[in-house]
Amino acid sequence: MTQLNLRPAQAEILKYESGRMAVSAVPGSGKTFTLSTLAAQLIAGGKIEPTAGQQILIVTYLNASAENFKTRLRQMLVAQELPPIGFDARTLHSMSLEIIKLMHGDTLSLPAVIDEGQATGFLSRAIDLWREMNSEQWEAFLPDQSPQMRVRWRGVVEKTAKAFIRTAKNARYQPQEIVDKVATQENSAEWQFTKMFAEIYDRYQTILKRQGALDYDDQVWEAVNYLEQNPELAEHLRFRWPYVLEDEAQDSVPLQEDLLGILTGENGNWVRVGDPNQAITTTFTSADPAFLINFLQKEDVTALPLPNSGRNAPIILETANKLVDWVVQNHPVPEVQKTAFLQQHIRPTPTGDAQPNPLDTEANVRIKVYKHREQEEIPEVVRLAQRYVKKFPDRTCAILVPTNNVGHSLIETLDEFGIQNYDSLLRGGLRERQIAAALHALLALLADPLRKRNLKEAFDALREIEHPAARDELDNLDRFHALLLSVQRVESLLYPAHYDEFIDSLPRGIAVEEDLAQLEKFTTFLRQIFGLRSLPIDALAMQLGDALFVAGSEFNESDLAISYQLAQALRSWQDLEPEKRLPDLVAELETVATGRRTLNISSGSDDGFEPRAGRITLATQHGSKGLEFDAVFMIGIDNGWIPNDLTAYFMGVYDFVGGDPQAQAKAELHYLMEGDAGGYVGRTPTESAHIEVIGERLRLLYVGITRAKRFLQISRSRYVRTYSGQDKSAESAEVVGILYHFLEKYKQSHAVGTAR
């Protein structure tokens, strides 16, 4: 291979030729480069036979990552004057789909794979079916019969059912298997909680089967089953993929362990690369960094570190290292000490490295305490971020929030300040709902054009997104609404033979001149879109998106992208249930427009998002993984987000079900099927779940810190606003105090700049 300027740790990893190897890679250590280089080296070294159809298989987490690997490998091989063949990069789910295709033999009989939004819709239907058949049992779980409690319980059941089904599928438990096991218990009355979720699981699977569909877990499970039941297929794939290189191995789930274990066999070539300290999906998926940690410790596995990172200034590296050290050595919860982090330090790059670390003299880390989050912290951080990008227009900047709800408050503040140079990676935000509402209103009008209320709602939706067809300043909006609701002949308003017929369609004595001018613009726009009614639903929605965000207003790329993704969602809903017509699809879209359902569109990292200089990126701490910025502002880092111990407040605890219902349901399932509830010895299921929450939140803090190259601010507020609009006090997270004292000492002994 061409001579590369490798770091010592990278050179050690590239000595690999066969067998099992685990690489623990710190943030910014170049694991993508190292893994790509290793794959290219194996191909160039003749370890596989590309002409016989053999490939190095790279398994990664995101579609964008898979494409990145493919691009890098093509470039590396072409640079060595080798044909760009002999490799493949796939997500777990695309690999599973490939296996299913091999078994089916043709694409016509392939099951449809539903997305998360569709799965939620089917689960909701399964819950409603179970409740109709078991109303007395449903009511028996409630401590009171108030409307508020009924709504609350419905939400609890949906979240818990998701966790229960995900756990059951990763353990490969069929629903009837669980139901039958409950029936064999002597005290079966005590298992009603588990029985309910097992039966909801059964109904959910029945709905999927009727639709000929699989969810993501089913897809991997089916692939595992095919390989187990067809050893010849497993052997065929071991020949095709004699080397499996796994990226982001800290996020491995049980089904992934099963699938890759079969593909590599007992003595296969399996390289696993990941960072247990960046495992940030454990509390809402079945991922567990223990899979990678246990692999690192096996006798037949070569375990190597990838410890050098040129991303961060030394003060930022050492802040991250201090976080790890304090948690491992001094965290007040013993189980958090043992499981939250692998004690591995980030090291700066060696002298002469192609990626030298930024200097401390141009870097800084600050910890700030504000009085009130909504009134002071958010506005002040927005001002500081905007000041930073104006001072350093060639640099990138991010504001990281703990939750999407905090992020939406942040967007409101940005909009109030008139700041437009930002990119939002938040999910299910206000803008998504506004765009869904606009599409919903127009589709509803196309579905039923004679309904006068549809006219009013279409106008209001256009007005909400500031579309020119509804942007006029009206001195009396209520009068204009009354005018729309009082139209005598809607068809004459929309398609008048002449102007007098247009006027005659309106009630006499109400419309003034400005109303008529606005009506003309509004109805002219409506006539343009009525010609689209015969199009298929996805094409119709995309054309409406063009009319809303290209032809009719200032071009907005992100708004158009959201509208196109909504169009794709509408198409997928119809593909799964072909009997649905436009009114049915309009009703589905309404759940997005009203915020009752999110589609998880507007994703940044999965679409290959690259931060842009001179702009502020808004993301959750979860959504920031895989990205890096010159400056990072982390807000809301208090005891409510990172609980200090198990006595703190934790969201998701419901006294009327005895604690955390998701933790309880999963523990009961494991105990029923395996005789072991899992969790931590001597801890209740809720306590065990809370230990996991603390660990993941600390790892999220670590991820946020390591996104920053030159400047980092961590902040919290003494008071925050609750959902009910009340202010409540918020305690400090102990770990932030530890970092504050560390930074005070660090700055006394090092030359640190004031980059901000």
Query: What per-residue confidence (pLDDT) applies to 556?
Result: 59
**Residue 504 to residue 493: CA distance in whole angstroms:** 9
What single letter denotes the amino acid at residue 91? Answer: T
For range 278-303, the mean pLDDT: 94
**Residue 668 to residue 651: CA distance in whole angstroms:** 21
Query: How confident is residue 745, by pLDDT bands cut at 50, 70 and 90?
Result: very high
**Residue 173 to residue 752: CA distance in whole angstroms:** 56
Query: How confident is residue 40, by pLDDT bands cut at 50, 70 and 90?
Result: very high
Higher pLDDT, 609 or 608: 609
Query: What per-residue confidence (pLDDT) applies to 402?
Result: 94
Digit-coded pLDDT (tens) for 371-422: 999 999 999 999 999 999 999 999 999 999 999 889 888 988 998 998 988 8
Higher pLDDT, 556 or 739: 739
Percent of the chain with pLDDT over 90: 60
Query: What per-residue confidence (pLDDT) applies to 376?
Result: 97
pLDDT at 462 over 90: no
Q: Is 708 helix (H, G, I), strand (E, B) or coil?
A: strand
**Residue 44 to residue 746: CA distance in whole angstroms:** 47
Contact present, 74 and 615 (Cβ < 8 Å): no
Contact present, 278 and 703 (Cβ < 8 Å): yes
Digit-coded pLDDT (tens) for 231-290: 999 999 999 999 999 999 999 999 999 999 999 998 899 999 999 999 999 988 899 999
Q: 727: which strand partners?
A: 721
Query: What per-residue confidence (pLDDT) applies to 132?
Result: 93
Q: 301: which strand partners?
A: 20
Contact present, 377 and 716 (Cβ < 8 Å): yes
Q: 424: which strand partners?
A: 618
Q: Cα dist. 145→150, 152, 161, 502 in Å?
A: 7, 11, 21, 53
CA dihedral 249, 255, 257, 261 (to 10 degrees): -140
Q: Taking the CA of residue 310 as centre, how many other CA atoms within 13 Å lie in the half-sphere pointing to its CB?
A: 11
Query: How confident is residue 428, by pLDDT bands cut at 50, 70 and 90?
Result: low
Higher pLDDT, 51 or 559: 51
Q: Cα dist. 238→90, 252, 265 in Å?
A: 16, 20, 8
Contact present, 345 and 320 (Cβ < 8 Å): no
Contact present, 250 and 296 (Cβ < 8 Å): no
Query: What per-residue confidence (pLDDT) applies to 597?
Result: 61
CA angle 301, 306, 311 (to 5 degrees): 160
Query: What per-residue confidence (pLDDT) applies to 107?
Result: 60
CA angle 600, 601, 604 (to 5 degrees): 105
For range 743-755, the mean pLDDT: 89
What single letter denotes the amino acid at residue 749? Answer: S
Digit-coded pLDDT (tens) for 576-589: 777 778 888 888 88
Q: Identify the residue whose tokens are 């279409």.
A: 458
For the chain, give the mean pLDDT: 89
For range 629-639, the mean pLDDT: 97
Query: What per-residue confidence (pLDDT) applies to 477?
Result: 85
Contact present, 576 and 114 (Cβ < 8 Å): yes
Radius of gyration of the chain (CA): 28
Higher pLDDT, 682 or 534: 682
Digit-coded pLDDT (tens) for 190-236: 899 999 999 999 999 999 998 889 999 999 999 999 999 999 999 99
Percent of the chain with pLDDT over 70: 95
For range 678-694, the mean pLDDT: 94
CB neighbour list of residue 621: distance below 8 Å, 6 or more residues apart: 280, 400, 401, 402, 634, 700, 701, 703, 704
Surface-to-core class of residue 227, CB atoms within 10 Å of its CB (0-12 exposed, 13-18 middle, 19+ buried): buried
Q: Cα dist. 389→257, 419, 531, 630 in Å?
A: 44, 12, 45, 10
Which string of DSSP letters, residue by residue, matches 456-481? HHHHHHHHHTT-GGG-S--S-HHHHH
Digit-coded pLDDT (tens) for 135-193: 999 988 888 888 888 888 988 999 999 999 999 999 999 999 999 999 998 887 789 99
Q: Cα dist. 592→66, 117, 597, 606, 630 in Å?
A: 30, 10, 5, 21, 35
For range 13-20, the mean pLDDT: 97
